[in-house]
Amino acid sequence: MYRHRIIPIVILAILAGVASASEGGVLRFVYQDGSAGAPATAEDLLATDQPVGWHVQIEPMVRYISPSGDLTLPGTSASVEPVDLADVNLNAPRLMPGFDLSLRYDEWRLNAIGLFYDIDGQFATADEAFTLGGVDFAAGQRSSVAHTYTQLDFRLARTIIDRPFRSRLNPERFPARFRLDVEGGLRLYDFEFEFENLDTGDRGSDDRTFFEPHAGVKAGLTLYDELTIDLYTNFGFWPTDAEAFSWDIGVGFQWRPTENVGLQIGYRSTIFRLNEGSGSREFEWEGSYQGLYAGLQFRF
């Protein structure tokens, strides 16, 4: 149930090793003029088309998220309706950890993004009869359900547009900057359900792993030298026996009062359909994970 907690530690160690091995001391992602180490000016931004050098960005965060959707587990007759997660009190929003680690060199970017959810002992009383994974629940009977979830995204992106522009109404102000990246990568879902009829003692569980390639775009607009708005969307699809389809979309606001530390807040939604098997051996989850997030940015 807790094996996912080691994943962000491993990824963080890898990126930290890359950073320490890079030449030139502190890694930076800034626009500079001809003076070594001097900060960028508005004129430098207007004259420079591409970022220079390396940067590593570490974004620990908390997410207020909840699962939703209809679930069918093996052992359920094909004639029985899927179970709505709300009916077993499994759609409760919770604060959970997440991360976004990125490594950029010039126009290339590599990301590792993690989302986690872990909830135990969610109790509910059935309003009507249902079957979950071969365990029958009559109206009025009590259920206990636990669920763990790990979603990992690995993205390779390339910047195709990176241009500053001035306001015609106020040309003296700091220029805004627009960036557009195209992305491709791999998304992985790993989760477990454990459930029990507390009145009969019948219980069951199911553990699944799905993956899918995905592609999309990410747009960023820097309004001032320390305020940025990001918007991204991508679609994933894997059509084999363990079929997966998803639409991932998010928006974020970042405020960086210093060069190396920032704050962020945003919203992310992953809508998916995961299917494997058929008949009484079918697994299907048609639902989503979505919610707000907030965290820090450390840029080197």
| Mean predicted lDDT score pLDDT of the chain | 84
Does the structure show a pLDDT above 60 at 25? no
Is the torsion defined by CA of 45, 47, 50, 51 positive or negative?
A: negative
Check pLDDT > 90 for residue 190. Answer: yes
The predicted structure's pLDDT at residue 132: 92
pLDDT for the residue 155: 97
**Cα angle: 14, vertex 19, 22; to 5 degrees:** 125
> Is it true that domain 3-299 has CATH number 2.40.128?
yes
State residue 173's pLDDT score: 63
pLDDT tens figures, 129-138 = 999 998 999 9
Q: How much is the pLDDT for 169?
A: 56
Give the whole-angstrom CA distance, residue 5 versus residue 2. Answer: 6
pLDDT digits 0-9 by tens, 92-106: 899 999 999 999 998
> Distances in Å between the alpha carbon of 43 and those of 28, 53, 170, 300?
19, 19, 15, 24
Question: What is the pLDDT, as a whole number, of residue 174?
Answer: 64
Q: Are 165 and 178 spatial neighbours (Cβ–Cβ below 8 Å)?
A: yes
DSSP letters, 213-233, are: EEEEEEEEEESSSSEEEEEEE
Provide the pLDDT confidence category of residue 5 given band limits of 50, 70 and 90.
very low
- The Cα–Cα gap between 143 and 200 comes to 10
Q: Model's pTM, two decimal places?
A: 0.79
Q: Please tell me which residue, 259 or 229, carries the higher pLDDT value.
A: 229
Q: For 26-76, how does the pLDDT look when each residue is reduced to its tens digit (9 = 90+)?
A: 332 333 333 344 444 444 444 444 445 788 999 999 999 999 999 999 987
pLDDT at residue 171, rounded to an integer: 59
The predicted structure's pLDDT at residue 28: 28
pLDDT at 52: 55
pLDDT at 170: 57
Rg, the chain, Cα only:
23
Split at pLDDT 50, 70, 90, the class of 168 is low
pLDDT at 57: 94
- What's the whole-number mean pLDDT along residues 188-209? 96
- Using pLDDT thresholds of 50, 70 and 90, give the confidence band for residue 2: very low
Domain boundaries, the chain: 3-299
Report residue 182 as tokens. Answer: 């195209």
pLDDT at 274: 97
CA–CA distance, 247 with 237 (Å, rounded to integer)? 9
Task: Please give the share of the chain, as a percent, with pLDDT higher than 90.
Answer: 66
Overall average pLDDT of the 260-285 stretch: 94
- What value does the mean pLDDT take over residues 204-233? 93
